[in-house]
Amino acid sequence: MGEIFKKSKSKFLVGVLALSVTSMITFVLLVLYWPQSNEHSYVKIKIETGSSLNTITKMLYEDGIISNKKMFKMAVKILGKEKKIPVGTFSLVNASSNYEIIGQLVYGVPEIIKIRILEGWDLKRIAKYLDDKMDFNSSEFIALARDKRFLKKYDIDAESAEGYLYPDTYFFFNGDDPKYVLDHLISKHQTLWTPALKRRAELMNMTKHEAVTLASIIEGEAIYDSERAKISGVYHNRLKIGMKLQADPTIQYILPDSPRRLLNRDLKIKSPYNTYLNYGLPPGPINSPGENSIIAALYPEKNDFIFFVATGGGYHTFTTNERDHNKAKKKLQRMRREMRKKRKNL
């Protein structure tokens, strides 16, 4: 009788255990495949740096992707993915259950964005471009580019990272934070400064900051590479004789509505960047110069030119005296008048 009772008790315990395991499995499957009333068959989700599970859950709920926050958080914890949801912008496609949503967030590949920073773009234009191209906080980008502690990390002794954002083609994940992007752009600029280039700057009696500043002015003036060294020669000549640089790109930099045709009153704007009023180089770069302009700043053409004026086709006429310079200016003015007449007659 005792043996029969023991066997019955063992069977009962096994049955209870099996029922418990089955119930647990059922519960886990219920949580994982709990249907969330996702309103979108396709939707993009941006996971910010430092986002907690609560933050992500709240965002998904407010965006109409999940309807039950408790079940979603429980599913994330069951799968052990509480701290494994990566940063970036992800696409959710036909994700209607907790398992599908979590899977696409954890194992999905963030959207990759091709970024092309052009030579001559300034900090604000780069920030706006990044803001337009990807999920990006341009205000944070600009603030960080002006943060003294951040700049010190790269040994940039300036008011901002203006001029130190290297123009090139980059690939970023959509959702990369501003600090990562800024680090990347500045680091690329730093690689340009080889020991040979640093020695050349010392030989020219120029600091790195002065070289980048002059290069940015050259970048603003030159369209064709063949003229960069020649324009550099003009500015070096002006600096040597103590003449104001009178560089139009520095005026464009301080105008709130640039780029546009400069007026005489623009040349009188009080600013440390106004090279028509102040002698020497401005306080810092006015844009992001490319490698060719930086090299031109450090390897100027040896010439006697003091003046240059546009010809209207992207090139310039270079002169050694003011009389010839004024002749070249009048020629340009005549050409512009003729072009305006032609446009009116069309």
Tokens 């040349």 map to which residue?
A: 267
Q: Which CATH number fits domain 32-110: 3.20.20.70, 3.10.180.10, 3.40.50.2300, 3.30.1490.480?
A: 3.30.1490.480
Nearest to 187 by CA among 216, 221, 164, 207: 164
**CA 276 – CA 31 distance, rounded (Å):** 71
pLDDT of residue 18: 47
Q: How many CA atoms lie within 13 A of 217 on its CB side?
A: 29
What's the rounded Cα separation, in Å, for the pair 317 and 313? 11
Give residue 43's pLDDT.
Answer: 83
Q: What is the pTM of this model?
A: 0.77
CATH of 112-192, one of 2.50.20, 3.40.50, 3.30.200, 3.30.1490: 3.30.1490
Tell me how far apart the alpha carbons of residues 304 and 322 are, in angstroms, rounded to a whole number.
13
- Res 12: pLDDT: 46
Q: Tell me, what's the pLDDT at 206? A: 97
Given CA atoms 198, 203, 209, 210 in this order, what sign does their dihedral have?
negative
- Would you say 182 and 166 are in contact if contact means Cβ atoms under 8 Å apart? no
Judge if 32-110 and 112-192 fold alike in CATH terms.
Answer: yes
Strands 169-173 and 42-47, bridge-based pairing: unpaired
What ranges do the domains of the chain cover? Answer: 32-110, 112-192, 195-303
Q: If the chain, 346 residues long, is cut into consecutive pieces of 10 residues, what is the mean pLDDT of each piece?
A: 52 49 62 72 83 92 89 88 84 84 82 93 97 90 96 94 98 88 97 96 97 98 97 98 98 95 95 98 98 98 96 92 92 82 74
pLDDT at residue 24 in the model:
65
Q: Half-sphere exposure (CA, 13 Å, Cβ side) for 49?
A: 11
- Could you report the per-residue pLDDT of 20-65, keeping only the tens digit for each? 556 666 666 666 666 777 777 788 888 888 889 999 999 999 988 8
